[in-house]
Structure 1
């Protein structure tokens, strides 16, 4: 993420990410502490219903240079592993899959050479 976006954003600041192909995304700074930052990434399209648009809450650990998905869609506090079957029918490796989605999205952004500007 540090290769794509400027340094830590002030809380409340929003960046618009515009790839050459596809929809725009918004990256909003939710929290900034000495060692971490919390960002919400969501699709900027008003055409689709909210529940159909990707939405991630991502925590960055500055010292470890690590990003972790904390919440995705309507799943808050992702567990490392789920028993299967479970009440909400989460996959056993739901957290791994959401982190992999973030990785794939970031690689897509790097390949697309997205345009980043303040919204």
Structure 2
């Protein structure tokens, strides 16, 4: 009797919980982004600098890009597009490292070498990144205010 191998099954509850936490944290970091094109930079440690930019703003959704700044080659820099759903207070990564439209699950192995739970993993990466910026990050305006 052959045993059927169980594949990855996405948990909608876990994804929603992660997206809700990401929304709350991102709203703290992006509070100065009022108009399309506005940006704010965060310095973490001595060498890590990130820029948040408001790319789209509609009544129920907004899109924010998060990009690592500095002297790294472009393929090593963190780059994410995050869609904020204001009515349900959720933030979901809709593109990461030049990959967009992430599927809930992928067969493994696959041509692009996505993990079976790639969508969940990029949202968990956003969670960790947001924790880092909230704990140790200083915005460019915070830094300028401390100099005065």
1:72 to 96, 106, 117: 96
Q: Give the paired residue count.
A: 116
Greater fraction helix: 2
Is there any run of 5+ residues in structure 2 with no aligned partner, and where?
A: 1-25, 142-148
**Aligned partners of 1:7, 1:34: CA distance in 2, in Å?**
17
Deviation at 1:38? 0.2
Deviation at 1:7? 5.6
Question: Where does residue 59 of structure 2 map in the other structure?
Answer: 34
Question: Where does residue 127 of structure 2 map in the other structure?
Answer: 103
**Aligned partners of 2:27, 2:44: CA distance in 1, in Å?**
17
Question: Where does residue 19 of structure 2 map in the other structure?
Answer: none
**Equivalent residue runs for 1:40-55 within 5 Å:** 40-45=65-70, 47-55=71-79
**Aligned partners of 2:140, 2:110: CA distance in 1, in Å?**
40
**Aligned CA-pair RMSD:** 1.5
**Aligned partners of 1:107, 1:3: CA distance in 2, in Å?**
11
Structure 1 runs (4+) greater than 3 angstroms displaced: none
Deviation at 1:116? 4.6
**Aligned partners of 2:29, 2:140: CA distance in 1, in Å?**
8
Is there any run of 5+ residues in structure 1 with no aligned partner, and where?
A: none
- TM-score with structure 1 setting the length: 0.89
Q: Determine which structure has more spread, i.e. the larger CA radius of gyration.
A: 2
**Aligned partners of 1:16, 1:3: CA distance in 2, in Å?**
13
